[in-house]
Amino acid sequence: MTDSFVDRAEASMGAIERVLKGLPLVREYNDKELRREADRRLRQLLAAELEQEKQRLYVLQKQLLRGGGLAWMDDADGAIQRLQTLIDRIKTASYGYAGLFAAVKIEGEQLDALHRFDLALAERAREINEGIGQMEAAAASRDALGPAIEAVNATVTELHRLFDKRGQAIVDPAHLAGAPLLGTTDAVVEDEE
């Protein structure tokens, strides 16, 4: 998935951009810009997917309200608000830019690690989809709705915690130096306990 974003960005380059990309300093700069663009697109895609999940929560909240589930409104609204905050954080996240004379340089390896981090976050965000599915099933049967809402809230809270680690990585790029590509997000962001 990482390469597909970068490959699409390279394919959309014009002839002059391709010629300039061949120059050593320009090539390094362009490669970093392509990585940043790939990561930005990934985060846009993740934010759009989470927006869809938020819409599912709105629909579920309306169903609960119509079906007499007033007791669950605050919990469902809390999940919606936390999810919206996460979406906003993802949309506005820094993309690893460091100017020519910046005190801290973000190198290609750190950009790659940052992108891998965002990919792993996207993988973990799928848990929200599953949790909302469980909420929908619980709302339909009126069974275990409270624990289902709590599980979604816990998942969103965990994604916030993980995203906090991303912010630390921008300040300290070495924080992501050994981040794996996908799967075990726990390996991507180690607790500092």
Where exactly are the structural domains of the chain?
46-188
pTM: 0.69
Alpha-carbon dihedral of residues 185, 40, 51, 92, nearest 10 degrees?
100
Tokens of 45: 């895609």
Residues 6+ apart with CB under 8 A from 69: 63, 139, 142, 145
**Residue 137 has what pLDDT?**
92
CA distances from 68 to 61, 156, 166 (A): 11, 26, 41
Q: Are 123 and 183 in contact (CB under 8 A)?
A: yes
| Residue range 17-42, pLDDT digits in tens | 555 455 454 455 566 777 778 788 88
**Residue 179 has what pLDDT?**
47
| Residue range 41-53, pLDDT digits in tens | 888 999 999 999 9
Rounded distance between C-alpha atoms, residue 67 and residue 56, angstroms:
16
Residue (of 167, 165, 168, 139) closest to 70 by Cα position: 139
